[in-house]
Amino acid sequence: MQKIVKGISSSLIFALGLVFYCAALQAAASTSYFVKTSGNNSNNGSEKSPFLTINRGLDAANPGDSVIVGKGTYAEVVSTKKAGTANAKIILRAVTGEEVKVGTKGKVLNIEHDYNEVDGIIFDGLWGDKGMVAIKGNYASLKNCTVKNNKRDGINVLGVTGVVIDNCKIYNLLRYDGKERVDAHGITGRNPKNLLIKRCDISQFSGDGVQFDPSRSTPGWNNIIIEDCTFWLAPVSKALSTESGFPEGEAPGENAVDTKTPGIKGAFSETRCNLSIKNCVVYGFKNGLIDNMAAYNIKENVDCVIEGGRMYANQIACRLRYPANVTVKNCTASGNEVAIRVEGGAKVLVEKVNFGEDNEVAIVEKGEGRGNGNLEIKNCTLPEKAKEKKRKKVKE
């Protein structure tokens, strides 16, 4: 028995050693390519002999390699060239502590391949008229980036899974056709799965902060997590109005988060899309160009949990519409015209929500139920002032 145990131990040690050896070999084989505004694309891409353009660096990079970009502005549409792997991503990043800007009219970045990561770069759409960032690669990551100044959508996630958008600032996405507001969303797209949006600040858009899926395309999106994000709107300043053409003084957008799903609009389906919103702050969704302006507009065939965070200074904090199933829990709602509005008999649980005294209406139900819905309120802090007003009729 002792000999057998020793044999197994030796085999295990050998196997582990082989794994570590292969990992070390892969790490040793990875290469960093450098890009600077003073470089030349005929160079070899080393730190002392950098490339001139980001795309040239991506041409050279293979799985496990990094493209490191020095300070300055690069006028090019950046596009990935090759797929990485789960253990060897291709990483495009700014030099730590240096400001790197990619500026082109409209389209600035295409992530077309799996396992590519972009980190620490400012993307400026220069008020162009095309979507700025397209993510078409599975398990792609956009981290510590800025996406700003455009008349179309900021980020489009298109039919892929496992995408992470982390610690990004997404703002100034504004379109006005001379007569009315036109949608320009912060993050949108078609049929993403297992999408994580975290620690982002999303503001000053003329559509929604996050909206899936504008076209209600099949097979539909699923398993989206939005956590630790801030969504906000403010009246457009004179300077921003001059740049964008959007009317000064107007709050530009619609909703922080808006949901659309495949199927017949308003009809219940057993096929559901799952959405989790955790520890987010939403404010300023009021006095805009639409009626019933809401921070969270959760509708259609969605199962959604809104947990933690704060909702304040909105016309409607949560607009929850049949046939959505929604739980709102462990959060604070204050200073809203209406904190929670339930429409058409949506199935809603409101639990451990702290309703401030300064909500004009805490909870209101609108419309007749359509078969599967009910409202349940549990363990909430509901001030007397709010209780008196909670069934108040609000504007349709």
3 state SS of 220:
coil
CA-closest candidate to residue 210, choices 249, 168, 180: 168
What's the DSSP call for residue 136?
Answer: -
**Whether the predicted pLDDT of 275 surpasses 60:** yes
Q: What is the mean pLDDT of residues 31-36?
A: 98
N residues, the chain: 396
- d(CA 193, CA 197) in angstroms, rounded, equals 12
The span from the CA of 185 to the CA of 206, in Å, is 7
The predicted structure's pLDDT at residue 217: 87
Instruction: Give the amino acid at 236.
Output: V
- The vertex-197 CA angle with 225 and 295, nearest 5°, equals 75
Q: How confident is the model at residue 394 (pLDDT cuts 50, 70, 90)?
A: very low
Identify whether the C-beta of residue 132 lies closer than 8 Å to the C-beta of residue 157: no
Q: What is the pLDDT of residues 55-73, one digit of tens each?
A: 999 999 999 999 999 999 9
Q: What is the mean pLDDT of residues 245-272?
A: 90
Region label for 60, one of left (φ > 0), alpha (ψ between -120 and 50) or beta (otherwise):
alpha
Cβ atoms within 10 Å of 187's Cβ, excluding its own: 33
* pLDDT (mean) for 366-393: 67
The whole-angstrom separation of Cα 123 and Cα 152 is: 14
- pLDDT category at 101 given cuts 50, 70, 90 is very high
In this structure, which amino acid lies at residue 67? V
CA angle 65, 69, 70 (to 5 degrees): 145
Neighbours of 382 (CB within 10 A): 17
Average pLDDT over residues 20-39: 75
Residue 209 · residue 147 · CB < 8 Å: no
Calculated CA dihedral for residues 340, 193, 134, 279, nearest 10 degrees? 40
3-state class of 388 per DSSP?
helix
Distance CA 11, CA 391 (A): 71
Average pLDDT, the chain: 91
pLDDT for residue 386 is more than 70: no
Identify the three-state secondary structure at position 235.
coil
- State the pLDDT at residue 367: 72
- Percent of the chain exceeding pLDDT 90 equals 80
Q: How far apart are CA 371 and CA 390, in angstroms?
A: 23
CA-CA distance, 41 to 47, in Å (whole number)?
13
Region of poorest pLDDT, from 16-30, 33-47, 131-145, 294-308: 16-30
* Residue 319 near residue 294, CB atoms below 8 Å: yes
How large is the average pLDDT for residues 373-381?
88
CB 244 within 8 A of CB 279: no
User: 219: burial class by Cβ within 10 Å (0-12, 13-18, 19+)?
Assistant: exposed
CA distance 279 to 365: 25
Residue range 161-217, pLDDT digits in tens: 999 999 999 999 999 998 899 999 999 999 999 999 999 999 999 999 999 999 898
pLDDT tens digit string along 217-239? Answer: 888 999 999 999 999 999 999 99
Instruction: Using alpha carbons only, give the angle 158, 233, 132 rounded to the nearest 5 degrees.
Output: 30
CA distance 50 to 41: 8
> 201 with 178: CB under 8 angstroms?
no
Q: How far is residue 15's CA from residue 37's CA, in Å, rounded to a whole number?
A: 46
Q: Mean pLDDT highest for which of 10-14, 122-126, 366-370? A: 122-126
User: Are 374 and 350 spatial neighbours (Cβ–Cβ below 8 Å)?
Assistant: no
- Looking at residue 65, its pLDDT comes to 98
Give residue 80's Cα distance to chain centre. 21
